[in-house]
Chains A and B, each alone.
Chain A
Amino acid sequence: MNNFIELISFNFFQNALWAALLTSLMAGIVGTYIVARRNVFISGGITHASFGGMGIAYFLGLSPILGATVFAIGSALGIEWTSKKAGLREDSAIAIIWSLGMAIGIIFVFLTPGYTPNLMSFLFGDILTVKMIDLFLLAILSCIIILLTVIFYHPILFTAFDSDYAQTVGYKSTLIRYIISIIIALSIVLAIKIMGIILVLSLFTIPPSTANLFSKNFKSIIYISVVISLTGSISGLILAYIFDLPSGATIIFTLTGMYALLRILKYVFEKR
């Protein structure tokens, strides 16, 4: 217990808790959209493509986050655009962007002279090394996302459900979808700091999938996702500290564990 109080008093742990809260808010809302629209694969493409931007940024001595942002937004808009215009099948387009981004990243990291110590943290993330500037960016993006969702809830919901119909009654479907693509890209880039490229998708998909066990209402799924995500990340964080495990991987285990447990409970209670 003393151990725990000591832990909470650490600055890095407080930052980690704040990061968990903010990413849970962000990933709960954005993830609900991603899961509802079945955009999980697209998001995977965006995530991995952003590695290309990181590699180039490393090579040029720029901020990796900046490089990742440019690539993430570029690929998000690219996927949205190709699927509509170029006559290329969407899943193929995603796979191409996915692997091309990774390839660019690997080449530029290889070309960068010297050792790149932070690279591992970008692949697997580390919530315990979150800095003030990361929290600040997370806070701003979370506020923007919450505000947009509250004000434009219906246009977002209607366009996500049936883009064509929304357009026929006068919603700017294409514009709304492009803006949401950019928001998804930004959220992924900021969450990469916490979970890393390889693990980040789980933060956007496991909580909404768990919430979907109990609700088929978009708004409720958002609320439940945020709660599940927060519970999972904080308990994962503590478990990681206790057993001295990597935080990102442990958080995924707790989130998946919660999903499995709740699914079994649901099954048992519905049987009765």
Chain B
Amino acid sequence: MSNLLQLKNISAGYEGKTVLREVNLNVNPNDFVGIIGPNGGGKTTLLKVLLELIEPYQGSVVKKDGLRIGYLPQINTIDKKFPISVKEVILSGRHANNWKLGSNKKNAQKIDELLQFVGMNQYKDTAIGDLSGGQMQRIFLCRALISNPHLLILDEPNTYVDKTFEENLYNLLSELNKDMAILLVSHDVGTISSMVKTIACVNGGLHYHESNKITNEVLKSYNCPIEIISHGTVPHRVLKTHKHE
């Protein structure tokens, strides 16, 4: 099984300040990696390197030929007053090569399918700013999926999603994971461990953990300053968050 994507000895940061140090990461097909870490630990920097939005100071990003990546950004980076419709937002996820050549009919059909998939058919022509945070997030998920990506990257997807859709989202993700690798960034350790197959903690460096079982001991040994809130003695598997808010 060949790698989809490989980070080799990456160091990266902003304005000369190194945030990530000598990070190595392999992503294989059908992986489901949870990326956890404290704020400022370099999670977003790591994503920007993966997406080639910033040049690393050192090291290299090796991608499989023709690798397509879909990406769900943190919603607060989006201008909610921008005059653009749901349909257009989803269409913006098509690869640039397809913007004129791809048949409109095929695109329209694909958009309908995706809206169906997230249960938002009736919002096709709605302006993006008229949606709630959770709805917006689903639309951005559609944008990430329209290119049929090999790798789906989600940055804090549970920040704005309404609790009713949260469960739904996780079902969608495990469904999607049959066809694509998923990298999920979250500060919410509880949620992440119940879904993902492996865990990576980013705090300057990156520590890879070959299972989804995180314990305080594991985190301590990786020097990952994240607290696990748990019931009873240290659990082998972290409990899900409560259903009510």
What is the CB-to-nearest-CB distance from A207 to chain B, in angstroms, rounded to a whole number?
14
A253 close to chain B: CB less than 8 A: no
Kindly specify which of A111-119, A122-130, A210-218 makes contact with the partner chain.
Answer: A210-218
Instruction: Point out the residues of chain B lying under 8 angstroms from A218, CB to CB.
Output: 83-84, 88
**How many residues does chain A have at the interface if contact means C-beta atoms less than 8 Å apart?**
27
**B127 at the binding interface (Cβ < 8 Å):** yes
- Cβ–Cβ contact B53 & A158, under 8 A: no
A112 to B173, CA, bound (A): 69
- Counting chain B residues whose Cβ lies within 8 A of the other chain, the interface size class is 20 to 34
Given A160-B82, A217-B85, A165-B73 contact (CB < 8 Å): yes
Contact call B85/A155, Cβ cutoff below 8 A: no
Q: With A87-B15, A168-B53 in contact, do A161 and B69 touch (Cβ < 8 Å)?
A: no
**B88, B97, B127: the one within 8 Å of A157 (CB):** B88
Q: Which residue of A lies closest to B15 (CB)?
A: A87
Query: Which A138-189 residues have a C-beta within 8 angstroms of B?
Result: 154-155, 157-158, 160-162, 164-172
Q: Which residues of A contact B147 (CB under 8 A)?
A: 169
**Across-interface contacts of A221 in B (CB, < 8 A):** 83
Minimum CB–CB distance from A164 to chain B (whole Å) comes to 5
In the complex, A217→B143 CA distance in Å? 18
Shortest CB–CB separation between residue B75 and chain A, in angstroms?
Answer: 11
Distance, CA A168 to CA B34, complexed state (A): 21
Cβ-neighbour of B78 out of A32, A87, A162, A212 (below 8 A): A162
Known: A165-B92, A165-B143. 18 other contacts (CB 8 A): A36-B83, A157-B84, A162-B78, A164-B51, A164-B73, A164-B77, A165-B93, A168-B51, A168-B53, A169-B94, A169-B95, A169-B96, A212-B83, A216-B83, A217-B84, A217-B127, A218-B83, A221-B83
Which residues of A are interface residues toward B (Cβ below 8 A)? Answer: 32, 36-38, 87, 154-155, 157-158, 160-162, 164-172, 212, 215-218, 221
